[in-house]
Amino acid sequence: MTVKVSNEKFEVEKFDGKNNFGIWQINVRDLLVQQDLHKALKGKSKKPESISNEDWEELHLRAMSTIRMCLSNEELFNIVNEDSASSFLSKLEKSQCAFSFFVGITYDHKDPCVDTFQTTTLHILKHFGVPRELELKIISRGSPPEGGGEVCLKVPIIQNSLFAVHLVDEGMVKRIRGIAYTTRVSPEMVHRMRYAACGIFNWLLPDVNIRDGHLSAQLLGKSPGYDILLVAETTSSCFISAEASTCFFRDGDAKDMETSDEKPARMLPKDISIRATSLLLEEIKQGGVVDSTHLALLFLLCALCPQDISKVRVGKLSPYAIQTLRHIRDFLGMKFNIMLDPSTNSMVLTCLGCGLKNLLRKIS
């Protein structure tokens, strides 16, 4: 069967940073196919044997010229140093990441700290196909009540949809990593927390490294406190995290607390470290590919995947995770099949994704 392609002129709207980059990229690829230039997108190093070096170079020049003609003058500046059609599109895609700055409290005793997002949460998102350009940079730290911390979140574009996952092998713990830091108190507190945690974990495995996250005085926020985060990495590339923190409230700040539960108890650095170590060991004992803090996020990502089966292994369900499953059922109409594994006292949850896509997202 012979497929005939008409010589009709195809026009692509120039990309100026305001229109939809995903749709523009699809149109440009189609245009290169119509002009028989799509082989250039494989890169200069993947030259077919049937094409001479001179013809291969000319094909790349024509493909690069076609892409440049589909860009505004402002966007041409982003690819001025690139020398191939594939690097053109790759550089443009990276330049479309959105940067967001957040100012306030970076850790407290009720919510996960920003280091948890940086070391564990982002890793879970990448399992589902979120691009590696997703980054969280900690500029300064801030503890309650006055905060003073600042972070920068770099969010790339998900061109189509997430990936369905099969995360049932939790593996064995092969290393422990962590970070301890203080704000507006003596850096000696960091060494005490690190020493106490390493003193426990070194009895269990040799690969333990807890680094010092203390920043300069200008980047330590406005309130005193200290925190330690511990992360266990398994042989199947699963990350389990736990943390403990304390902060110091002045008398005027304590009066603003609604209940006594909101005011954290002051603890010594050694006690904080022992508490974080106990929490991590408890998370490892419960089993699963994620810790209890990330159960709700894991279930939500599975529900938003394409219409394919996702299977995950988790430990004990927290009340927040159970309520998340109810919300997914009510809002998305998705139900999880829960099977208990008696051999490990863990649960295997499976679901069919709702097929959420991101094709029509506008870039401001």
Tell me the per-residue pLDDT of 202-239, one tens digit each, with 9 for 90 and over.
Answer: 999 999 999 998 888 888 888 899 999 999 999 999 99
Count Cβ neighbours within 10 Å for each residue of 59-85 and write b for 16 or more, e otherwise.
Answer: bbeebbebbeebbeeebeebbeebebb
Tell me the per-residue pLDDT of 251-295, one tens digit each, with 9 for 90 and over.
Answer: 555 444 445 455 556 789 999 999 999 999 999 999 999 999 999
**Band of pLDDT at residue 28, cut at 50, 70 and 90:** confident
Tell me the per-residue pLDDT of 316-363, one tens digit each, with 9 for 90 and over.
Answer: 999 999 999 999 999 999 999 999 998 888 999 999 999 888 765 544
Q: φ, ψ for residue 347 (rounded to 5)?
A: -125, 145
In angstroms, the CA 116 to CA 113 distance is 5
Flag the least confident range among 96-100, 129-133, 138-142: 96-100
Flag the least confident range among 22-26, 44-48, 157-161, 163-167: 157-161
Element (H or E) spanning 5, and its range?
Answer: none
Q: What is the pTM of this model?
A: 0.75
CATH level 2 (architecture), domain 170-286: 2-Layer Sandwich (3.30)
Beta-strand runs (E) in 165-206: 166-167, 173-183
Q: CB-based contacts of 249: which residues, under 8 Å, 6+ apart?
A: 144, 145, 257, 263
Q: Where are the domains of the chain?
A: 21-95, 170-286
3-class secondary-structure state, position 233:
strand
For the chain, count helices (H), then strands (E): 11, 11
